[in-house]
Structure 1
Amino acid sequence: MKGYLKYIVLAVASLLTFSSCEEKDVEVYGNDAYLVFEMPGLGQSNTLRDSLVFSFPVKGDECVEDTLWFKARIIGKSVPYDRVIELAVNGEKTTAVANENYKLDPIVMPADAYTVDVPLVVYRAGLQGKSVRLELTVEPNEFFGVGFDKTSKAIFWWGDMYIKPDNWETTNYKPCFGEFTETRYAFILKACGIVELPDPQDLVTMGFYNAKVREALYEYNSTHEEPLTDEKGRVEFPKWTGQGGIG
């Protein structure tokens, strides 16, 4: 009986020791802070993505620079002092030139904060008919490590042209609006009165814009001697209601 009680005591002691170690490990891990990026849509879309495309022509000829906003968010605890955030440019995948195509000021995570809005100023000069790409990554420092792989980089495309959204071929954009061309894209944005397409999974809004675009095209062709054309020929939009869209 005494041997049995001794066994129980040792087992309980071992369990308590193991639990204590686990709590200590969790506490140590929880004290580390990691950074991730969040980039909501330019317009009404709240969908988060790891890339953002901006076409200067949607803002008119007078727009020579604009600001693209994204968030830096910490995974971990806030602290009662400011912390410097360091970003690195992936040179192999970047064509944009600092202070010529864009400006990115030093970033600080404020005391007691979990997120900070980061402004990326982009310039139009020298980009007529072309675009540039910028890929930012988290640079580990004494305050922050790299968070999840998928959200630890931020990709930006911009230029003085209508740039094809990187998910045009793989989402509801293509079945809703057809093949991409700059002429077609410009017509879509103007007809719908928007500067960026909505979330492709928002089937109701996508279906509404499809009807709006087809109506605008009919009106255009009815009031012009020649129908709207682009480099692929006469512009046509498929009838798409949103039912059975891509998930």
Structure 2
Amino acid sequence: MKRSFQYTCLLAFAATFWCACEKTALVEYVQPDMIYFFKDPNLSEKDSLSYSFAIKSETMQFDTVQIPVRIMGTAKDYDRVVTWGTVDSLTTAVAGTDYEVLPAKVPAGAYTAYVPVRILRNAAQKTKEVRLLLEIRESKDFKPGIDDARGGDWAYPGAGIRYLVKINDFLTKPNNWDSWLKYFFGSYSQVKYGFIIDVTGRAEFPDTGPNALPYGQFQYFESVCRNALEAYEAEHGTLIDEFGNPVTF
């Protein structure tokens, strides 16, 4: 009798639990559409971009840089607006003088896009570099994505809603000099960099991305620069850089 009572109670409890489960509806979690600057850890320009008009034609008065962004969520069947602004306290570039805001969008069906920024050339950039710190802002289509996710000394892909663009009109160290070019050209100086540009006929030496040069090409440039320096020294003597040191390769 006691066992029968226990069995009856167990069935009643099970029935009650089952009914409770049936009445509990699952609530779908809906994440708002978000967007962020995509920072590829394999690229030297993952966190910032240095743009120098000094390596461009003297007639070039403006250019456009493209900063990659990615969405969090699903693609849509229509174009969506991306809005960005500047962090004024950390920006020295002046709108209309150093840069212009261009329309940005994520095309229909896309998960990735680019924020275009028009860079303007002016005389002040000959002596002073300006900084433009971009920040993703909320638009009618997107909220800002990941604020900042970092791992050690480098940023994970999709690391933040801010991106720094540095603008000048004098020779500056390429972004990949310390990570790659120094193994072929040695320590950096403006004089050395200018010499390399004159000898090779190029000012950009990408080692990552779609335009990356093969390893052998860097070895070739190193050899060409070394031979050109020997020829220069034979005719003019030692080439001295802005630090008072002889240029070497």
Q: Which interval holds the TM-score relative to the shorter structure?
A: 0.7 to 0.9
Aligned partner of residue 236 in structure 2, secondary structure: coil
Cα deviation for residue 74 of structure 1 reads: 1.3
Distance 1:19 1:52, change over 3 A: farther
> RMSD of the alignment, in Å?
3.5
Which amino acid in structure 2 is aligned with residue 80 of structure 1?
D
Cα deviation for residue 236 of structure 1 reads: 0.9
User: Which of these residues, 196, 201, 208, is aligned with residue 188 of structure 1?
Assistant: 196
Equivalent residue number for residue 140 of structure 1: 138
Which amino acid in structure 2 is aligned with residue 135 of structure 1?
L
User: Which of these residues, 84, 91, 94, is aligned with residue 91 of structure 2?
Assistant: 94
Equivalent residue number for residue 57 of structure 1: 54
Which amino acid in structure 2 is aligned with residue 139 of structure 1?
R
Instruction: Give deviations 1:43-97, integer Å, cap 9, x for gaps.
Output: xx97661211122122232222221122332111223344332111011221111
Equivalent residue number for residue 248 of structure 2: 236
Instruction: Indicate yes or no: 2:125 matched with 1:117.
Output: no
Aligned partner of residue 230 in structure 1, secondary structure: coil
How do 1:135-174 residues align onto structure 2 when only pairs under 5 Å count?
135-148=133-146, 149=148, 150-165=159-174, 168-169=177-178, 171-174=179-182
Is the Cα–Cα contact under 8 Å of residues 131 and 167 in structure 2 kept in the other structure? yes
Between the aligned residues of both structures, percent identity stands at 28
Cα deviation for residue 99 of structure 1 reads: 0.9
Which amino acid in structure 2 is aligned with residue 95 of structure 1?
T
Structure 1: which 5+ residue stretches go unaligned?
A: 238-247
Instruction: Give deviations 1:192-222, integer Å, cap 9, x for gaps.
Output: 4443232379x99457425522432322332
Structure-1-length-normalised TM-score: 0.74
Is the Cα–Cα contact under 8 Å of residues 95 and 133 in structure 1 kept in the other structure? yes
Equivalent residue number for residue 226 of structure 1: 237
How do 1:101-112 residues align onto structure 2 when only pairs under 5 Å count?
101-112=98-109
User: Which of these residues, 209, 215, 240, is aligned with residue 218 of structure 2?
Assistant: 209
Moved more, 9-18 or 175-184: 9-18
Equivalent residue number for residue 240 of structure 1: none
Structure 2: which 5+ residue stretches go unaligned?
A: 1-6, 149-158
Which amino acid in structure 2 is aligned with residue 226 of structure 1?
G
Instruction: Indicate yes or no: 2:71 matched with 1:74.
Output: yes
Instruction: Give deviations 1:13-67, integer Å, cap 9, x for gaps.
Output: 777888934xx12xx12xx111112478xxxx97661211122122232222221
Cα deviation for residue 183 of structure 1 reads: 1.6
Is the Cα–Cα contact under 8 Å of residues 38 and 48 in structure 1 kept in the other structure? no
Cα deviation for residue 131 of structure 1 reads: 1.9
Is the Cα–Cα contact under 8 Å of residues 44 and 176 in structure 2 kept in the other structure? no
Aligned partner of residue 135 in structure 1, secondary structure: strand
Q: How many positions carry a matched residue from both structures?
A: 226
Aligned partner of residue 172 in structure 1, secondary structure: helix
